[in-house]
Amino acid sequence: MLKKSGNIRLIRKRIPILPENEGAIMSCSGTVFDINSRIKSKESIRYKLEIEEVLLEISNMFIAPANLEKDIDVALEKIGMLCGAGRSYIFLIRENGTIFDNTHEWCAEGVEPEKNNLQNVLCEECPWWMEKLSNDEVIHIPDVSALPPEAAMEKEVLGKQGIKSLIVLPLYVSGMLAGFMGLDNVVNTGNWGKDDVSILRIAVNLMGMGIQRKRAEKAIHVGEEIYRSMFKNAANLILFVDKKGVIVECNSRVEELLGYRQDELIGRPIKNLIFSDCLKKLKEASDEIERRGFSFNKEYRIFRKDGRPVDVNVNSSGLKDENGHQIQTIFIVEDITERKKAEKLIKESESRYSFLFQNNRAVIMLLDPETGNILDANSAACVYYGYPREKMLSLNIADINILPKEQILEGLEQEKSRDINHFYFIHRLSNGVLRDVERYSYPILMDGKKLLFAIVSDITDNRKMQSELMKAKMEAELASKTKSEFLASMSHELRTPLNSIIGFSDMLLTQNFGPLNDKQLRYVSNISMSGNHLLKLINDILDLSKVEAGKMELKVEEFSVSDLISEVKALLTPLASKKDIQILSTVDKELTIIRADRMKFRQILYNLVDNAIKFTPKDGYVIVEARIEEDQAKIVVRDTGVGISEAEAKKVFQPFTQLENSEYGEQKGTGLGLSLVKKFVEMHAGKIWVESEFEEGSKFIFTIPLNPAN
């Protein structure tokens, strides 16, 4: 029925008909009933039943969701259809709390989905929206166009989606805001009823519980996976032992540590693995676990499968059931065999260090380079400085060293960065006496801090002796210089008349001025030989004086070693022939040219070969060998002579030394030849030495660089 106001009312009519005579209708009358409220009441009952049915179905889905994603989609569809929405959806906030995403969406027929457009939405882009959700408010917008100015950003976003009205409720997971659920109307504006809000409240809570349960299950699963991975890949052996002390589970580390397979160890009593003297400790650990729930850092010695012992450190804790009764014990077993060995070595080392430190006769101190404090001092240090040990350890190095403390600390700071330090100081003893000391120190690391280990030696007497030696050295050098100058002067004075004597005697030997009888010839010949011997002595003295005075220079040039050896052989072969001695030589083909002073090299070789001939018996050999060894020319002059005793070998290169032997007696010579040889070799930056066994011959060996520095 259409009312005057234009509203439609539902009515029910009852009209009885009154017939006229002969069946004709005379009139009718009836009653009209308004049934609008009755119809609404029936619809309300039916709607409520539908709501209860939907909520029951949703509740069943989220009590134990098998497929949470699918269940949420189904729930959104049912709620959207029940409430007559154009779109229903879920947004979830990410863990960082700054971004939310449209994770689930249902759209009525003809409504465009927006899910793909609503990903990675920044919370700061919807401040009004997020503030209301954070305050647990329902966002009910009957008309989007009427949103307040503070919701301008939200109004723009909703307008782009064509939303006319909406209702949004916060979604909580584990008591924290995790997102929101909402319904959109893209056709009409209008209010959402109280029933809609109630339905959504219940539905969003059910979904929150479902998400919470799923996340918890995932966390449990991840936790179990992590536990399994940690258990399997743990660096230490892990054992699970039941109340009877039997091993019920172990990880794969058992094979490496104890040599058992996992299945071999499971079922064995744990006490069977432990040395008998450690069983008491196991009982104490068990009591401790019963009392406190855990036991830490217990060290045991256990058996490997092959019987070898293993030192281990064990941390253990009890596992309890829901009633608080202990059902198992977890043992985490760490192999400390190497650590125990290291500890033993460290202990032995510390013991040795302590013994050596305290019983060493040297004065030893341990210093803090930052403060200069004496941290430790041995008995020798206490005796030397005259302090009891307690007093000694209360001193600073500045109490002993006469230098200013600032200067001492600056030096100590530099010392700790160098490997080894060497200094000379003056130290003050307890009685006030000052002593010259020499100190060696080097940094050592103790308890993570750099300290200085210092060894002190008293050099007061040495300094005094050095001073006296220096004075004696200067006096000796002056005397030597005076001697050399005197010898040089005398040699020059003697050489002039000596040359005349040699010259006149040689002229007489020619007998150009008249014949000489045998006796005269013998006398004149002796005069000539003695004169030449004296002249050689004078020349050697002059050469030695020049070398000692530093006035002799090398004239370095390139020459053939082989040619020079041949030259010396030619000069000395006549002398060797008188004793039927052969001079042999071998030259390494790689040793061709050498850079040296040719005349001095010739004199070195000449003197050595001449000396070898003197001490070689008849029918013997003198052999000259030349080769290259490590950028050096090595020359060996070897003979088959009588050899040199060890005592004579030590002084063979000293000036005016002449060798003697029982067979030949003292050999004629100046006693300067080998001394000059040594000087000439050393001028070339070379070395010379002798190797000999008495009556086995001798080897004189010298080396000089192939390319000496200028």
| pLDDT tens digits, one per residue of 441-495 | 888 888 888 888 899 989 888 888 888 888 888 887 777 677 667 666 666 676 6
Using left for φ > 0, alpha for ψ between -120 and 50, and beta otherwise, residue 264 falls in: alpha
Instruction: Find where tokens 């209360």 sit.
Output: 394
Mean pLDDT of 538-566: 81
Q: What pLDDT is attached to residue 21? A: 53
Is 156 in the same domain as 270? no
Strands 582-587 and 621-628: parallel
Q: Indicate if the pLDDT at residue 28 is higher than 60.
A: no
- Residue 485 resides in a domain: yes
Burial of 682 (0-12, 13-18, 19+ CB in 10 A): middle
Structural Rg of the chain based on CA atoms = 58
Q: What pLDDT is attached to residue 703? A: 94
Run of H or E residues at 695: none
Contact 316, 330 (CB under 8 A): yes
Q: What pLDDT is attached to residue 690? A: 93
- Residue 29 resides in a domain: no
Worst-scoring range by mean pLDDT, 18-22, 179-183, 653-657? 18-22
Confidence of residue 665 (pLDDT cuts 50, 70, 90): very low
- Residue 122 resides in a domain: yes
Q: Across 476-536, where does the E strand assignment appear?
A: none
- Residue 30 resides in a domain: no
Is 448 in the same domain as 559? no
CA distances from 686 to 122, 559, 632, 683, 706 (A): 86, 18, 9, 7, 10
Q: Which residues does 576 contact at the CB level (< 8 Å), separation at least 6? A: 582, 583, 613, 622
CA distances from 130 to 124, 209, 451, 504 (A): 8, 21, 62, 134
DSSP assignment of 354-366, as one string?
HHHHHH-SSEEEE
Q: What pLDDT is attached to residue 709? A: 59
Q: Which residue has the higher pLDDT, 63 or 615?
A: 615
Mean pLDDT of 490-517: 78
CATH for 694: 3.30.565.10
Is 678 in the same domain as 535? no
Return d(Cα 453, Cα 415) in angstroms, integer.
10
Q: Which of 312, 285, 314 is nearest to 301 (CA)?
A: 312
Confidence of residue 658 (pLDDT cuts 50, 70, 90): low
- Residue 278 resides in a domain: yes
Domain final residue pick, 527, 546, 565: 546
Is 60 in the same domain as 207? yes
Q: What pLDDT is attached to residue 707? A: 76
The structural domain count of the chain equals 5
Q: Which residue has the higher pLDDT, 478 or 379?
A: 379
| Helix and strand totals (H; E) in the chain | 18, 27
* φ and ψ at residue 98, rounded to 5 degrees: -115, -10
Domain final residue pick, 341, 374, 405: 341
* φ and ψ at residue 182, rounded to 5 degrees: -145, 160
Is 425 in the same domain as 562? no
Q: Which residue has the higher pLDDT, 296 or 12?
A: 296
CA distances from 128 to 88, 94, 149, 387 (A): 21, 19, 10, 82
- Angle 561-577/598-614 helices, nearest 10 degrees? 30
- Residue 7 resides in a domain: no
CATH for 174: 3.30.450.40
Write the single-letter amino acid at 656. F
CATH for 408: 3.30.450.20
Confidence of residue 427 (pLDDT cuts 50, 70, 90): very high
CA distances from 678 to 544, 683, 685, 702 (A): 11, 9, 11, 9
Q: What pLDDT is attached to residue 351? A: 77
- Residue 175 resides in a domain: yes
Q: Across 304-353, where does the E strand assignment appear?
A: 309-320, 326-335
Q: What pLDDT is attached to residue 179? A: 92
Is 62 in the same domain as 208? yes
Q: Which residue has the higher pLDDT, 674 or 64?
A: 674
Find the DSSP H helices in 360-459.
379-385, 389-392, 405-415
Is 64 in the same domain as 203? yes
Is 610 in the same domain as 592? yes
Range of the domain at 285: 234-341
- Angle 68-83/194-233 helices, nearest 10 degrees? 180
Contact 274, 302 (CB under 8 A): yes
Is 99 in the same domain as 181? yes
Is 101 in the same domain as 214? yes
Is 397 in the same domain as 300? no
Contact 639, 696 (CB under 8 A): no
Is 128 in the same domain as 65? yes
Q: Indicate if the pLDDT at residue 34 is higher than 60.
A: no
Q: pLDDT over 90 for what percent of the chain?
A: 21
Q: Indicate if the pLDDT at residue 702 is higher than 50.
A: yes
Q: What pLDDT is attached to residue 33? A: 47
- Residue 226 resides in a domain: no
Average confidence score pLDDT of the chain? 82
Q: Which of 249, 246, 245 is nearest to 283 (CA)?
A: 245
Q: Which of 364, 386, 383 is nearest to 444 (CA)?
A: 364
Domain final residue pick, 400, 423, 458: 458
- Give the pair of three-digit tokens for residue 492: 């020059």
- Give the pair of three-digit tokens for residue 371: 């403060």
Q: What pLDDT is attached to residue 3? A: 55
Mean pLDDT of 115-142: 89
Mean pLDDT of 388-414: 90
